[in-house]
Structure 1
Amino acid sequence: MAKDKHVSRIHLKDGDAWVKQYGDDRRVVRLRAMDWVVRKLGIIALRPPPRHTGAEGREVEQRRLGELSRLGVHVPRVLGHGDDSLVLSDIGTTLAHRLRHGSREEARVLLVAAVAAIAQVHASGSYLGAPVARNLTVDHDGRIGFLDFEEDPGEVMPLLQAQARDWLVFTAGVARHAPFDEEELSAILAHALRQGPVELRDTLGRAVGRLSFLKTLTRALGERASGLGKAVGSLQRALWNSAGAVLLAILTADLLHDGDLEVLRALAQWVD
């Protein structure tokens, strides 16, 4: 959580906690542009949710934390709040940090646990929203937790699209950190996807198909961008290995020409 400039650590007698403030947001024009692009590409799962600020942002996050907690999802406890702030319990080190500093075997164990935790959220009938590696945590017992819920995709898309979004965002976020190639990463993803409903795999498959151009586009654009291509390739392989998926609708040339770089910029926010 410390990566967000509106979040600060405090020390309480029972341990560390975090104060999160919901200030102004200046991305309105950018978010509208992103929304136009993903609508044009037909990728509903990537529509940007409304960015709530102030008291509204605090209320959205507090509501979602309550919803997920009641389902048994490991999220921070609300220790207190102001009009536009929350005091949240600490639930461990970020997955991004653990992947950067741990061994290859530890990375495998953590990713298996992370995809299982996401699949469990979906099995409970819910979704996360922004499960990038910096928004997942690992506590001393190895339990996976989730952070950052001031944006609610459920405001702009149905449940299946929100769940497909979770897999897109998660894979884009961990692909650069994970010390595995597409085949190894896809094997980890495939096991979790196989447990989910066919309808989710189909929804995710259509979105991945419309992003398949990123594999070629990102090869020469540096490590961060190439992580997006790796993510798309890993999800393609995972879905092919998950029975029942209807995959990879092909975009027309003019649609690619109009939208590819904008989608790349939109996705880049999920590469930690």
Structure 2
Amino acid sequence: MGKEGQVRRLDVEGGVAWFKRYGSARRALRMRAMDWTAMRLGVTPLRAPPRHVGPDGRRVEQRRLTELASLDVNVPRVLAQGDDCLLLSDMGQTLADRLRRSGPDEARTLVSRAVEAIAAVHARGAYLGAPVARNLTVDADGRIGFIDFEEDPGEVMPLADAQARDWLVFSAGVSRHVPFDEQELAGLLAAGLRRERPPSRSALARTVERLGFLRRPTAWLGGRAAGIGKALGSLRRAIGSSGGSVLALAAALALDLLHDGDIELLVLLAGMLD
């Protein structure tokens, strides 16, 4: 979290806990830019939720943890609370850490379990919000868990868009960590997407189609941007998008590209990911 907040590991009686304090609104300007860009392009699942800080951040996260726990979603337990802080139970290693140390077979298993866990959350009528690889956990039994809920996409979008957002964010984040190609990632994602409700699948398909123009520039930008392109290709394969024209959308962005040599949405998307 850096200067925005503070997360510290604590050794407590009986195990490990995590102290989380909710910090400043340092990212507020970037998130407003992300929201404006998403609305402009008609990709509403990528709207930026309000950035809650201090006591408000604590209340939002505690509310979301309570809601998800009531649906038997594997999230941290609140061990103690303060005005602007929570003490949370340990959930194991992050999926990002596990994938960095995994070979292809273990990575396939981990991603498959993560996809299944996200699909199960959606089947219960819920959503996550920021399921990048650093916000998924793997415990000693291999069970997938979820952390980091101080932002709530449900404040600015309907359920179908929030669930589509989960797949977009998860795919773009995990694609950088897996040692296999777009086609194989698509096969793993498809297993979860087959369980999605039609409104969520439609919202996801529309967004992937609108973002299709990003695949070409990401091929030579590398890093996080390349992960976004790989994720979009995998999602298109997974949901069977029709591959309609995106020329009008690309033309709408031409002035941005010529003006500063960059595409603002790509920069903002990359900034969301681990």
Q: Deviations over 1:39-90 (max 9, x none)?
A: 0100000000000000000000000000000000000000001000000000
> 1:28: how far off?
2.2
Report matched runs for 1:154-165 at 5 Å: 154-165=154-165
Residue matched to 1:25: 25
Q: Normalised by the size of structure 2, how large is the TM-score?
A: 0.93
Q: Secondary structure at the match of 1:180?
A: coil
2:252 pairs with 1:255 = yes
Q: Secondary structure at the match of 2:126?
A: coil
1:3–1:158 CA distance, 2 compared to 1 (3 A): same
Residue matched to 1:194: 194
> 1:254: how far off?
2.8
> 1:248: how far off?
5.0
Residue matched to 1:120: 120
Residue matched to 2:87: 87
Residue matched to 2:260: none
Amino acid at match of 2:66: G
Amino acid at match of 2:265: V
Q: Secondary structure at the match of 1:131?
A: coil
Report matched runs for 1:174-213 at 5 Å: 174-213=174-213
> d(CA) in 2 for partners of 1:140 and 1:25?
35
Report matched runs for 1:44-59 at 5 Å: 44-59=44-59
RMSD, aligned α-carbons: 1.8
> d(CA) in 2 for partners of 1:2 and 1:266?
19
Amino acid at match of 1:254: A
Residue matched to 1:265: 267
> d(CA) in 2 for partners of 1:249 and 1:83?
51
Structure 1 unaligned regions, length at least 5: none
Residue matched to 1:12: 12
Contact kept in structure 1, 2:123 and 2:195, CA below 8 Å? no
Q: Secondary structure at the match of 1:83?
A: coil
Report matched runs for 1:37-116 at 5 Å: 37-116=37-116
Q: Secondary structure at the match of 2:67?
A: helix
Task: Report how many residues are paired.
Answer: 268
Task: Please identify runs of 4+ aligned residues in structure 1 that moved more than 3 A.
Answer: 1-5, 245-249
Residue matched to 2:219: 219
Q: Deviations over 1:159-180 (max 9, x none)?
A: 0000000000000000010111
1:200–1:159 CA distance, 2 compared to 1 (3 A): same
> 1:4: how far off?
8.2
Q: Secondary structure at the match of 1:151?
A: coil
1:59–1:262 CA distance, 2 compared to 1 (3 A): same
1:2–1:111 CA distance, 2 compared to 1 (3 A): farther
> 1:259: how far off?
6.2
Contact kept in structure 2, 1:175 and 1:230, CA below 8 Å? yes
> d(CA) in 2 for partners of 1:143 and 1:4?
29
1:249–1:155 CA distance, 2 compared to 1 (3 A): farther
Q: Deviations over 1:181-203 (max 9, x none)?
A: 01000000011101212221111
Amino acid at match of 1:255: A
Q: Secondary structure at the match of 2:212?
A: coil
Amino acid at match of 2:214: L
Amino acid at match of 2:139: D
